[in-house]
């Protein structure tokens, strides 16, 4: 696969506990998650590993894959819990931005709001995201944070935003300088 040994070991570092009751619920969320992951896996293999001609699709699938990598890192068991907060914030940035620009916090919040439109629990997930970014900024700029972060709520927000984005890939145009914005309906005119 072309990974370094440390990267291969990192692939298995996702301590997740699955409650069988959750998977048996009438909700189709687990099925949606599995389908989205399959889409990203096959799209990444097709666009990146086989190097197809669509640079835009390759860029989007690379972003989705990289966002998942940072999301996975947010689960690492470390002595410093803020490392997970920073990795989760990076996962959101990779997922919801097309390129770096000033005002990233507002940008992420606006796009997450668009991605979560109509999703149950949207308001609390957006509150969790706001707390995440406040803590991330404090940690990155001051080396510490006193902000309590609802990491589980922020992870739910990421998962839902990821699902919504993957499920809207059919809206990806042939050309765009802002493919994520286009998919979410947030393109600067």
Question: pTM for the complete prediction?
Answer: 0.84
Say how far apart CA 170 and CA 167 lie, in whole Å.
Answer: 8
CB 36 within 8 A of CB 67: no
Q: What is the pLDDT of residues 114-152, one digit of tens each?
A: 999 999 999 999 999 999 999 898 888 888 787 888 999
Q: What is the pLDDT of residues 19-28, one digit of tens each?
A: 666 556 656 8
CB 118 within 8 A of CB 160: no
Inter-helix orientation angle 122-142/104-115, to 10°:
160
> Residues in the chain, how many?
189
Q: In this structure, what token pair is assigned to residue 75? A: 């689960």
Q: In this structure, what token pair is assigned to residue 156? A: 């739910």
Q: What average pLDDT does the chain have?
A: 84
């Amino acid at each position: 696969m072309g990974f370094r040994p440390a990267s291969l070991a990192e692939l298995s570092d996702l301590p997740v506990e699955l409650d069988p009751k959750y998977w048996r619920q009438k909700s189709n969320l687990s099925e949606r998650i599995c389908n989205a992951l399959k889409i990203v896996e096959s799209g990444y293999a097709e666009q990146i590993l086989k190097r197809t001609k669509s640079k835009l699709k390759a860029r989007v699938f690379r972003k989705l894959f990289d966002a998942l990598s940072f999301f996975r890192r947010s689960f690492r068991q470390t002595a410093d819990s803020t490392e997970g907060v920073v990795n989760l914030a990076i996962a959101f940035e990779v997922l919801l931005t097309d390129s770096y620009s000033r005002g990233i916090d507002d940008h992420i919040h606006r796009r997450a709001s668009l991605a979560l439109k109509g999703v149950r629990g949207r308001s609390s997930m957006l509150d969790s995201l706001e707390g995440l970014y406040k803590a991330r900024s404090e940690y990155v700029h001051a080396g510490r944070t006193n902000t309590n972060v609802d990491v589980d709520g922020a992870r739910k927000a990421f998962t839902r935003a990821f699902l919504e984005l993957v499920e809207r890939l059919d809206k990806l145009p042939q050309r765009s300088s802002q493919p994520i914005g286009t998919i979410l309906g947030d393109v600067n005119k």
